[in-house]
Amino acid sequence: MPPQGPPTDPEPRQLHPLPRGLVELYGLMAVLFVLVPEWMAGGALFGFRDGRQGSDLPVPSGAWRRLPELRLATMGLADLRRLARQQGISGYGGLNRERLTARLLLRLREPSPEVRDLL
C-alpha cells in the first residue's frame, strides 16, 4: 500500500477582488454605523456636563446610606481594614476583601450595647 500524505489541491484558489465602489461603500457604512453614533453620544454627554453645578458624581441615594453592603462595596481594602480596626475585629490584616467584608457585615448588623439596653 503506497504512503498517503495530505491531499493536494490541484489548482490554487482564485480570489475575485471586490469592485472599488463596493469597498468605498463599505467604508462609508462603517463610518455611518460606528463613528457617527459615538460622536452623537459624546456630544450628548458633554451637553449634560454643561448644565451641572458642583460635583460630577451623583448624590448617593438613601439606600446607599442605609445598606452597609453598598457602603462596604465602595470602600477600598485600606478603608475596610481601618473600619475593622475601629470595630475591634481581630486578625483583619490577614483577611482578603471578601472575608473582611463578611466579618464587617456581621459586626455592623449585630445590635450595639446601646441598642440592647433599649430592647
pLDDT digits over 76-93, tens only? Answer: 889 999 988 888 888 888
The residue extents of the domains of the chain are 77-109
pLDDT given for residue 12 in this prediction: 77
The separation between the first and the last C-alpha atoms of the chain, rounded to the nearest angstrom, is 94
Residue 24 host element (H or E):
helix 20-30
pLDDT given for residue 26 in this prediction: 93
Band the pLDDT of 115: cuts 50, 70, 90: very low
Q: Cβ contacts of residue 85 below 8 Å, gap of 6+?
A: 92
pLDDT in tens, 12-45: 778 888 899 999 999 999 988 988 888 888 888 7
Which residue's entry shows cell 454627554? 45
Mean pLDDT estimate for the chain: 78
